[in-house]
Copies of this chain bind each other. A is one copy, B any other.
Amino acid sequence: MSDATTDARWRRRKADRPGEIRTAALDLFAERGFAATRMEDIAERAGVTKGTVYLYFPTKEELFKAIVRAELLPNLELLEAAAAEKVPADKLLEKLLTAWGTGLIPARLALVPKVMMAEAGNFPELARFYLQEVIDRGRRVLRAVLRRGVEEGSFRSMDVESVSYCILAPFVFSVIWRHTFERHDMNPLDIPALARAHLDILLQGLMVSPRSIGGKHAGRRSKTKK
């Protein structure tokens, strides 16, 4: 409207408009859901006007799909990197969970899954696509690590399919938690502690010869045993 506005909108001319819009939209979709998020809200958070969003994305649905597609790559790269590591399986598991616990894995990474969980019913194709391109691929990596651990003799024999879910579950859980209840919770989730506890249980529960890991509560077995 005013000159100031006009100036402002040109000030960031070089900025990545589509990226900014996707980011704004993803945040809002995660917070309110796809249907409850208005295009105008997305535009506002991205610092543009409604019309501009349509300049880059023909429909709200396409915007959503673009987000999922755009977030796909970082996910896959992370998976690729994880699979490439050539260390013993138990060390790899420890590394992954530690990366999660110490915040090396960015929390934003989980926003698409969070939205996906709520909207899979309304976007079946997208859900199928996501399931195959990200989730199944991730599970395959995880199953391979577990199988390698068994072959290496460090892990007990196990139902790798089910165990892979057990390993993923607390991660998925924590993601949802942070985006749903944390804001209202008195005692917010202590992710590092959760990661430590999870790792401890897993190593104790999966390894043939459990070994102690560092931490407040972990690895006291010998002591306790008397």
Contacts and interface: CB of A to CB of B under 8 A. Distances in A.
Copies per complex of this chain: 4
A176 B172 contact: yes
A166 B34 contact: no
Contacts of A220: 156-157
Contact of A217 (B117, B159, B201): B159
A32 to B, nearest CB: 5
Contacts of A34: 33, 36
Contact of A159 (B173, B179, B193): B193
Contacts of A118: 33, 117-118, 180
Contacts of A131: 181, 184-185
A203 B205 CA distance: 7
Contacts of A170: 165-166, 169
A224 B170 CA distance: 28
A33 B35 contact: yes
A124 interface: yes
A7 interface: no
Contacts of A117: 117-118, 176, 180
A183 interface: yes
Interface string A162-189: 1101101110111011011101110101
Given A127-B184, A197-B166, A220-B157, A205 B205 contact: yes
A9 interface: no
Nearest to A186: B136
Pick the 7 closest A-B CB pairs, nearest first. Answer: A205-B205, A162-B197, A201-B205, A35-B35, A118-B118, A169-B173, A120-B180
